Amino acid sequence: MSELSERMVRDMQLRRLADRTQESYLHGVRSLAKHYKRSPDHLTDREVQDYILHLLNVRKVAWSTCNTQVSGMKFFYGTTLGRTSTCLAIPPRKVEQRLPEILSAQEIKRVFAATKNVKHRALLMTVYAAGLRVGEAVRLKVTDIDGNRMMLRVEQGKGRKDRYTTLSPRLLVELRGYWKQYRPALWLFPGQDPDQPMPGDTAYQIYVKAKLKAGIRKEGGIHALRHAYATHMLEAGVDLRTLQLMLGHRSLLTTQRYLHVTQKNLGAPGKPLDLLAVSKKKRLPQT
């Protein structure tokens, strides 16, 4: 389906869909074609719906993953093929709201200490110290580090928006030491090809190996460093609006969820049970 892929990619690019969205949509349609071993433009609506049921009931994929694949199929059939009659109306399902497992400051230190490779440690420290998404971290350029203003520029983050976040003095020292050793030219963290940034999957594996080496069993990938950053900033007294800007959240509601996992709130004095005055009741005289 190379010709169809090219048409779909062109349609997505014309609508300025994010690169990762394009990859997810294309992967969903290719998986559909691989399942039936036929070109997806020859499949009936019933076959597409049966495949969606296969994802949910047989492969047991997460609902969010299924939603992404369905969105890709809707785009392919509705936009690329113009088959507006294709019905892929999947009943909406409320996404489970799960709180992330937050790494403590001591666990963060253990992750860094377990990472002996200078480049890898600088990457993990940058993700945590600036609260970056992995895609933002690996696409940092050397020129994005502003040591004079102590600012770090995030170019075209999620939502295709630029933003600035603070540059930690300790991180600046780490990055300078890393730069002196590796001398990256364009990308701060280049991949094997110096003209290309490090792949996000590589950064993910770097974190997973460091976490296991540090003896940490909490769930979550490299995004856990961003969760830890947000939580630790709130515990340090940073207000929600400032944190929202630094994280690049579109809505303050997204930032507010970190209030549910901060020690500042969960460990606050005045726990109801501790306020109860426990006293021994006088036993009534028996008659």
Looking at residue 287, its pLDDT comes to 43
Torsions phi, psi for 235 (to 5 deg): -65, -25
- How much is the average pLDDT of 82-102? 69
Name the pLDDT band for 276 (thresholds 50, 70, 90). low
Looking at residue 89, its pLDDT comes to 60
Judge whether 121 counts as a catalytic residue: no
- 110, 120, 226, 232: the catalytic one is 226
* Span 107-146, pLDDT tens digits: 999 999 999 999 999 999 999 999 999 999 999 999 999 9
Judge whether 226 counts as a catalytic residue: yes
Judge whether 223 counts as a catalytic residue: yes
- 7, 163, 213, 223: the catalytic one is 223
Judge whether 158 counts as a catalytic residue: yes
Judge whether 133 counts as a catalytic residue: yes
Share of the chain above pLDDT 90, in %: 50
Q: What is the pTM of this model?
A: 0.68
Given a cut of 60, whether residue 272 has pLDDT beyond it is no
- How much is the average pLDDT of 204-213? 95
Given a cut of 80, whether residue 279 has pLDDT beyond it is no
Structural domains of the chain ordered from first start = 2-80 (1.10.150.130), 105-266 (1.10.443.10)
* Span 26-79, pLDDT tens digits: 999 999 999 999 999 999 888 988 998 898 889 888 777 888 888 899 899 999
- 139, 211, 232, 249: the catalytic one is 249
Name the pLDDT band for 153 (thresholds 50, 70, 90). very high
